[in-house]
Structures are given as C-alpha cells and as structure tokens.
Amino acid sequence: MQTFYYPVVSNYLTPGAFFLVLWMALIPIPSIRLIPANVLNAAAKKVGLPKNLKFSTFVVVLSALMFVMEFLDMNAKEKAYLQCKSQAVQSMDNCAHYRAQKWRSERNFYMVALHLFLEGLVHLLAVKAENDQETAQYKAQVKYFVEKNLFGRVSALFNALDADSNGTLNFSEMHKVHGSDKSLHEFFDVNDKDKSDELDTTEFAKYFMNLYTRKGEKCVDIVLEHWTKTAQKKSS
Ligand SMILES: [Ca+2]
Ligand SMILES: [Ca+2]
C-alpha cells in the first residue's frame, strides 16, 4: 500500500497541484490563466454538482483524509519507536528499524500536508475565478441594460401588466402576455425565486437579464416589444 501510495502523491499529485497553483495564480493572460478553473468548474457542471460544490471540493476532502491518516500513522510510528527505546534491554539494532519507519511516516505526513495545502489553493483559485467571471458578466449586463434604457422599458411593461397596481404580478396578470397555463407555470417555477406566487420588480427584471445572457440582446428586444404591445392591446 505504502509503496504505491507515496510515489503517487509525491511524484504526481503534489507536483501537479503545484503546477496548477502556479498556472492559476501567475499567468498574466486571463484567457490562459482561467483554463484550469474553467475546466474544473465545467466538469462539476457536467456531472450535475450543485453550484456551491466544485470538483476541487472532493479533491480537498480526499487530501484532508490522507492528511489525517498520515498524521495518525506518524504518531503511531513515533510511539513504537519511543517504546522500543525505553525498553530496558536495548534491541539488537538500537531500534534502527523503528526509527526508519518513524522517519518515513514523517516524510509522508509532510508530503500530504503540502499536498493538502496546494489542493486547497487550487480550490480557492477555481472558486475565485468563477466569482470574478460572474461579477464581470453581471456588470456587463447592467451596463448594457442601463445604456439601452432596458430597465426603463422593463419597468414600463411591469406597470402595464400590474392591473391592480399592487407592485407584483400574479398568474392572471402575467397571463395577458404569457401563453398556455403550462408554460406560465414553468415560467413562475423558474422566475418566482421566493415562491410567493407573484413576481416582484426584481424577479421580473432578472428574467430579462437572464434572457440577455442566454439568448442575447435581440431576443430581449423582441420579447420586450411583443409583451409591451400585447399588454397595451389588452388594457385598451
Ligand atoms: Ca398585481
Ligand atoms: Ca416572488
């Protein structure tokens, strides 16, 4: 077990993690620097992990388990060595066998400690990269919406749909612009974030911002125009 496990950690895992940390922290060109983070995060998405669980989370947990195992092993080996030394009759080899085992377990422990530290850094860098990307995306969205006065148009549409002027849109108010009951239910499922059965202005605006991310500006424009026209037609 030891003869297989230690070389894997020391020859592959630790240098691999060290290489990733250097890459993700030091390469000045963002599109290249972000490749490992993007691959890790995309892998997590592909296997359907929830948003706050990353692929690197599992690696860190496994590394932490290895750390604990080696810590316990190191303590056990040290105890065995001290026990040997304390025996009244000295052993033939002056406890050299136990001492060698103790040294090896210490070496293993510090190697897995370094490995855990590096995998932790990889994880933090991957999470940071994703947060940075989301922030940049969100900023670009808001900038675009402000520049094109889309918030103004969304808010005008909201007011046109809000027949009872209570500041939220319920099913029947949304029904004016949204097709069948089934698709309207799906629409509420996705966009009514607090499950209040009503859309507030934020939830409504977020729908258009997400639409912009998924389908682009043209689609936002078409939906806004179509819904605004329909809302005006129905209320006149
Ligand atoms: Ca209302
Ligand atoms: Ca709501």
C-alpha distances (whole Å) from 102 to each of 75, 94, 98, 123 are 8, 14, 6, 31
Contact between 13 and 115 under an 8 Å Cβ cutoff? The reply is yes
Task: Summarize pLDDT for 62-96 with one digit per residue, the tens.
Answer: 999 999 999 999 999 999 999 998 886 767 788 89
Distance CA 187, CA 40 (A): 31
Contact between 222 and 212 under an 8 Å Cβ cutoff? The reply is no
**Per-residue tokens: 170:** 């319920």
**pLDDT at 3 > cutoff 80:** no
How many secondary structure helices (H) and strands (E) does the chain include? 11, 0
Q: For 100-107, what is the mean pLDDT? A: 94
pLDDT recorded at residue 116 = 97
DSSP 8-state class, residue 34:
T
Distance CA 133, CA 123 (A): 16
Distance CA 186, CA 183 (A): 5
pLDDT recorded at residue 33 = 93
CB-based contacts of 191: which residues, under 8 Å, 6+ apart?
199, 203, 204, 206, 207
How far is the centre of ligand 1, averaged over its atoms, from the C-alpha of 164 (Å)?
5
How far is the centre of ligand 2, averaged over its atoms, from the C-alpha of 211 (Å)?
18
Contact between 173 and 162 under an 8 Å Cβ cutoff? The reply is yes
Say what the pTM is: 0.69
pLDDT recorded at residue 28 = 94
Q: Is the dihedral angle over the CA atoms 81, 85, 88, 90 positive or is it negative?
A: positive
Distance CA 227, CA 86 (A): 86
Domains defined along the chain, listed by start:
2-134 (no CATH), 150-235 (1.10.238.10)
Which ligand is closest to the CA of 174, given by its number?
1
Q: What is the DSSP string of 46-102?
A: HTT--TT--HHHHHHHHHHHHHHHHHHHHHHHHHHHHHHHHSSSPPTTTTHHHHHHH
Which ligand is closest to the CA of 191, given by its number?
2
Task: Summarize pLDDT for 187-228 with one digit per residue, the tens.
Answer: 999 999 999 999 999 999 999 999 998 898 899 999 999 999
Which ligand is closest to the CA of 171, given by its number?
1
Distance CA 37, CA 31 (A): 11
How far is the centre of ligand 1, averaged over its atoms, from the C-alpha of 235 (Å)?
14
Which ligand is closest to the CA of 195, given by its number?
2
How far is the centre of ligand 1, averaged over its atoms, from the C-alpha of 214 (Å)?
27
In the block, tokens 């002027």 appear at 165
